[in-house]
Structure 1
Amino acid sequence: MSDLAGKVAVVTGSARGVGKAIAQRYARLGASVVVNYSSDEQNARRTVEEIEAAGGDAIAVQADIATPAEIDRLFATAVETYGSLDIVVANAGVEIVDEPVLDATEEQFDRLFAINSKGAFFTLQKAAKLLTDGGRLINIGSSSTVSPVPGTGLYSSSKTASRQLVRVLALELGPRNITVNTILPTVIAGAGVFTQVTEDDEFHQVNAGMRPLGGRPGTPEDVADAAEYLAGDLAAWVSGQALLVSGGAVQ
Structure 2
Amino acid sequence: MNTLQNKVALITGSARGLGKAIAERYAALGASIILNYSRDKASTEEVVKNITGMGARVIAVQADVTKPQDVARLFQEGLKAFGKIDIVVANAGIELIQLPVTDFTEEQFDRVFSINVKGSYFTLQEAARHIADNGRILYISSSTTTSPVPGMAVYGGSKTTPKYLVEILAKEIGHRGVTVNSIIPGPVAATGVFSEMSTGDPFYQELLNGSPMGRLTTVDDVADIAEFFASDLAGFVSGQHLLVNGGSIY
| TM class, shorter-length | over 0.9
Q: Does 1:228 align with 2:218?
A: no
Deviations 1:169-216 (A, max 9, x none): 011111011000000111101211112346676654542332223x22
Is contact 2:5-2:30 (8 Å) kept? yes
Rounded Cα–Cα distance in structure 1 between residues aligned with 2:181 and 2:54: 28
Counterpart of 1:32, as a letter, is S
The 2-side partners of 1:67 and 1:157 are apart by: 21
- Structure 2: state its 5+ residue gaps: none
CA RMSD for the aligned pairs?
1.4
| Residue number in structure 2 paired with 1:100 | 100
Percentage identity across aligned positions? Answer: 52
Match of 1:39 in 2: 39
Bigger CA drift: 30-39 or 52-61? 52-61
Q: Deviations over 1:112-135 (max 9, x none)?
A: 111101110010011111000100
Question: Conserved in 2, the CA contact under 8 Å of 1:189 and 1:199?
Answer: no
* Superposition map of 1:1-251 within 5 A: 1-197=1-197, 203-213=203-213, 215-251=214-250
CA distance in 1, matches of 2:107, 2:205: 33
**Contact 2:186–2:244 under 8 Å retained in 1:** yes
Instruction: Report the CA distance between 1:32 and its aligned residue.
Output: 0.3
Q: Distance in 2 between matches of 1:195 and 1:118?
A: 25
Does the 8 A contact of 1:199 with 1:217 survive in 2?
A: no
CA contact (8 A) 2:210 2:249 kept: no
SS at match of 1:190: coil
Question: TM-score normalised to the size of structure 1?
Answer: 0.96
Q: Which runs of 5+ in 1 are unaligned?
A: none
Report the secondary structure of 1:4's partner residue. Answer: coil
Deviation per CA, 1:26-53, whole angstroms, max 9, x where unpaired? 0000000111000011101111101111
For residue 148 of structure 2, what is the amino acid of its counterpart? Answer: P
The TM-score, its normalising length taken from structure 2, stands at 0.96
- Which amino acid is the alignment partner of residue 216 of structure 1? R
Q: What is the total number of aligned residue pairs between the two structures?
A: 250
